[in-house]
Structure formats: structure tokens, C-alpha cells
């Protein structure tokens, strides 16, 4: 009888520890998969941007600084290595793209160009997919971080050096402000 009690005292925590460890590994893997999805969508969008720039260039040849800013921002996105760097680069690119579309408003022929319209629609669709991927990724980061910080999984997480994930978020407070529309 004592043998069974000792065996239960040893096996129950062992199986709990194994279960918690596997859960932490699963959460970490889902977080990496979420980041991978964002990365794929960003690559697709970055491949689309040069086509958009070339289309606009044909109409707005004197907007050289704007094109350079978009290209510079795009390169920052491609060279970002961490979630924080990626987030900052994304904010810069988003601002550059907003400026590009604002300039396109000055060229009625460009706005009517079918190629420009298709590229703009593709980019809009891509932005929606990136937003969905960001939400998924941030959800996996939340699950991972909660598991790492709560008892008893925090014990296993500390033993095996599991790290909290970084949220993919907007750092520029100006982007949180509502858009002002006036007629």
C-alpha cells in the first residue's frame, strides 16, 4: 500500500509536469507559426509594392522623394529581424504608403488606370490578411505569456527557460488617433 502511495506521489507530479511542458511547447510553436504567417503576407505585400510604385511613377514623375521613402520603408521591413523591429518598420511603411495614395489623388488619370486600381485593391486585400495574421499572432502570444506567468506552468516554464512572446503592435501614437474627415 505504501508503495502505491509513493508511486502516486511521484507519478502524478511527473505526468502533470510532462503535460504542462508539452502545453508550453505547443503554445510556443503556435506563436512561431503565427509569426510565420505574418512574414509570408509581408513578403507578398513587399513584392506588390514595386509594381505599384512603377505604375504611379509613370504619372507622378516629380514625386521622387515619395518613391524613395516608400522604397526605404520597404527595405526596412525586409531587413527587420525582431518583432519590435518589424513593428517599427511596418509603421514607417504604412505611413509611406498612405502618402503614396494621397499623392495619387492629385492625378485623375492615375486613379482611373485599371492597373493602378487592381494593384490598390490587391494591396488593400493584403493589408486585411496581414491584420488577421497579426490578430492571430497576438492571440498566440497572449496564450503563451499567460501560460508562462501562471501557476503551476510558470514553474515548468522557468525550469526550461520558456520566454514570453512580443506583441506585434502599433508604437506610433498618432496612428491610434481617429481619422478626421471633413466635407
User: What's the pLDDT at 174?
Assistant: 53
Distance CA 27, CA 149 (A): 13
pLDDT tens digits, residue range 64-93? 777 788 888 888 888 888 888 888 888 888
- Give residue 36's region: left, alpha or beta (phi > 0; psi -120 to 50): alpha
Q: Which of 35, 34, 52, 33 is nearest to 124 (CA)?
A: 52
User: What's the pLDDT at 166?
Assistant: 92
CATH topology of domain 26-168: de novo design (two linked rop proteins) (1.20.1440)
Distance CA 82, CA 89 (A): 10
**Can you give the residue ranges of every domain in the chain?**
26-168
Q: Which of 95, 107, 94 is nearest to 61 (CA)?
A: 107
Distance CA 116, CA 172 (A): 29
Phi, psi of 171 (to 5 degrees): -95, -25
Render the burial of 118-135: b for 16+ CB within 10 Å, e for the rest. Answer: ebbeebeebeeebeebbe
Angle at 83 between CA 131 and CA 167, to 5 degrees: 60
pLDDT tens digits, residue range 159-172? 999 999 999 886 65
Assigned C-alpha cell, 68 = 524613395
Q: How far is CA 75 from CA 92, 123, 167, in A?
A: 11, 17, 22
Distance CA 112, CA 118 (A): 11
Cβ pair 134, 42 in contact under 8 A: no
Which one is predicted more confidently, 132 or 48? Answer: 132
Prediction pTM value: 0.76
Amino acid at each position: 500500500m505504501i508503495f502505491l502511495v509513493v508511486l502516486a506521489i511521484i507519478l502524478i507530479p511527473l505526468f502533470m509536469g510532462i503535460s504542462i511542458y508539452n502545453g508550453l511547447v505547443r503554445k510556443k510553436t503556435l506563436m512561431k507559426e503565427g509569426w510565420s504567417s505574418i512574414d509570408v503576407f509581408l513578403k507578398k505585400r513587399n513584392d506588390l509594392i514595386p509594381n505599384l510604385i512603377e505604375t504611379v511613377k509613370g504619372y507622378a514623375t516629380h514625386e521622387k522623394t515619395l518613391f524613395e521613402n516608400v522604397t526605404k520603408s520597404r527595405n526596412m521591413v525586409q531587413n527587420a529581424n525582431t518583432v519590435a523591429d518589424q513593428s517599427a518598420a511596418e509603421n514607417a511603411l504604412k505611413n509611406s504608403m498612405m502618402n503614396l495614395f494621397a499623392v495619387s489623388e492629385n492625378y485623375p488619370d492615375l486613379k482611373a488606370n485599371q492597373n493602378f486600381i487592381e494593384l490598390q485593391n490587391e494591396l488593400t486585400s493584403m493589408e486585411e490578411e496581414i491584420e488577421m495574421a497579426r490578430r492571430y499572432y497576438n492571440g498566440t502570444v497572449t496564450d503563451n505569456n499567460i501560460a508562462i506567468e501562471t501557476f503551476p506552468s510558470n514553474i515548468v516554464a522557468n525550469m526550461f527557460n520558456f520566454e514570453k512572446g512580443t506583441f506585434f503592435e502599433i508604437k506610433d501614437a498618432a496612428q491610434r488617433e481617429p481619422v478626421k474627415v471633413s466635407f
